[in-house]
Copies of this chain bind each other. A is one copy, B any other.
Amino acid sequence: MRNIKEIAQLSGVSKSTVSRVISGSGYASQEARDKVLKVIQELQYKPNAVARAMVSQRTHNIGVLIYRREYPVASHPFYGKILDAILASASSMNYSVFVTTDHEMSLRSADFMLEKRVDGLILISRLEQNVIDHIGKFGVPYIMVNGSTDVPGVIHIVNRDQNGGLEAARHLSGLGHRRIFMLAGPQSHRSHHLRLEGFRAYMNGQRAEFGDSDIAYLLASTFEEGYRMMKEHWEHFRSRSYTAVFGTNDMIALGAMKFLMEHSVSVPGQVAVMGFDDNDVASILTPSLTTVRVDTEKMGRLACVMLDKLIRHEPVEETAVELEPQLVIRDSTRRF
């Protein structure tokens, strides 16, 4: 393969001069510059990033680690969106991105990145303490996005889920709904937990009746599980004459909505359905889903910008960024 030495010989200068021309720093006469650039152009020479990384101790690569038990991961309607945003931002900042997905939270996939000497790491979704400790030991800067653990000192970007839950409750209450059934995703996951808490806080604040019997706890935050739990609680649901369902994410809500529609329950005519996240499917469905929007685009962008600062040892103002979610009213909810 072509290298800088070959360019140097062909243009009749030393490799030092070639290096200077390429980097643009240091002195190089116009004459030398022209000769070198001409040869580079002719040979279609591209500097070897591996060698560069070797000496500069900077790879200009960042790693994105997504842990998720269920498929899909990259094409996941929520995590995939964050990934998309990261890819776009990173590219505009001249970083290349290693993407690793894993189903168990093993140290292996973390090591995979660490060996490759990435400049920084973006960790998406919940992470266990030992993985964080492991990564921390390496001195590689990292940022957590939408993580579950509140490890002190770890820089993380999250959605203000509690507020979102509160907004959802306010919206449904405002429409006149008094009996609301909640499908709550795994409470070990920060988002689902806080969304429930926010919702509960509003209801309690309003002295509205909302207690443990109004909540179904799901084992997964999937469409199937939403459908399954709606089915399982169907008798209960009818006997208590609920008029609304709130799922702690869109897929859950969509699963519930599918069950309802299969049982000829009109949405939103008889029962209003509301989700959280605002993924692409939410707006596509008939009826389109009222939801609380999480700004995944900003999450990804901020993650890149902040990680870049960490990498360049610039000061980072905040250790925790919380993004405000936004109520998106569509067709699946209406005044009761």
* Interface, chain A (partner B; CB < 8 A): 44, 46-51, 53-54, 59, 61, 71-77, 79-81, 83-84, 87-88, 91, 96-102, 109, 111-117, 137, 223, 254-255, 257-258, 261-262, 280-281, 284-286
Contact = CB atoms under 8 A, between A and B. Distances in A.
B117 A49 contact: yes
B54 A223 contact: no
Contact of A99 (B48, B81, B87): B87
B261 A72 contact: no
A46 B115 contact: yes
B96 A280 contact: no
A189 to B, nearest CB: 19
Contacts of A84: 71-75, 101
A81 to B, nearest CB: 5
A51 B54 CA distance: 6
Contacts of A223: 284
A116 B49 contact: yes
A124 to B, nearest CB: 12
A286 B258 CA distance: 6
Main secondary structure of the interface of A (DSSP, over half): helix
Given A84-B71, A258-B286, A44 B96 contact: no
Contact of A96 (B76, B88, B98, B284): B98
Contact of A81 (B75, B96, B98, B115): B75
Contacts of A74: 74-75, 80, 83-84, 87
A112 B88 contact: no
Contacts of A46: 111, 114-115
Contact of A286 (B49, B83, B261): B261
A65 to B, nearest CB: 11
A33 B236 CA distance: 66
A216 B161 CA distance: 44
Given A51-B54, A101-B84, A258-B284, A75 B73 contact: no
B117 A50 contact: yes
Given A88-B101, A96-B98, 20 more contacts: A46-B111, A47-B115, A48-B115, A50-B54, A50-B117, A54-B54, A71-B84, A72-B81, A74-B83, A75-B75, A75-B83, A75-B280, A80-B80, A87-B100, A91-B100, A91-B101, A223-B284, A254-B284, A258-B285, A281-B284
